[in-house]
Structure 1
Amino acid sequence: MKRQIIAALAVLSFAGPALASPEIDADTKAKVEQKLTAEGYEVRRVDSEDGMIEVYALKDGARLELYLDSDLNIVKTKGED
């Protein structure tokens, strides 16, 4: 049983980097920040998730998660529950 657990942990340790989201390059981050700032958002963080650009931002006192496509269009918004 102990060997199975160790083997499973070893497999997961190698799978982690493959499951990580790709980094957003500095140029894209700058474009996202510029666009959203012009729209009244205060950008806190820009990441990548599920092939989309994920942005954590504030607007009118609300914390938001924004999901943008490759053309920097907001396609989904999640608010604080």
Structure 2
Amino acid sequence: MIRKIPLAAALALACAFPAAASSMPDAATQAKITADLKAQGYEVRKIDSEDGMIEVYAVKDGKTYELYLDANLKIVRSKEGS
């Protein structure tokens, strides 16, 4: 019984990671996002994925932003941070 718990946990984690990894933009897409946003004056700090959208943490004019991009890599929502 003790061995089944770690095995079950390992299987649950193994099933969860492929789904999370597939939602992350690939390296080429991340490079395009970084280049596009740099052209708009942003400094990209981190690219992630949330709720089926690409989430980018960036800085522009000394202010931090959370930018949400759609599948066409267009900003559809932005939130200014602190």
Q: TM-score, normalised by structure 1?
A: 0.75
Distance 2:57 2:27 in 1: 16
Distance 1:43 1:71 in 2: 18
Deviations 1:12-65 (A, max 9, x none): x82782673622100100000000000000000111111111000000111100
Aligned to 1:45: 46
Aligned to 2:71: 70
Aligned to 2:81: 80
Tell me, which stretches of 5 or more residues in structure 2 are unaligned?
Answer: none
1:17 counterpart = 2:16: yes
Distance 2:31 2:44 in 1: 11
Q: What is the RMSD computed on CA atoms of the aligned residues? A: 2.3
**1:76 partner amino acid:** R
Percent identity between matched residues is 51
Distance 1:80 1:23 in 2: 22
Matched positions, count: 74
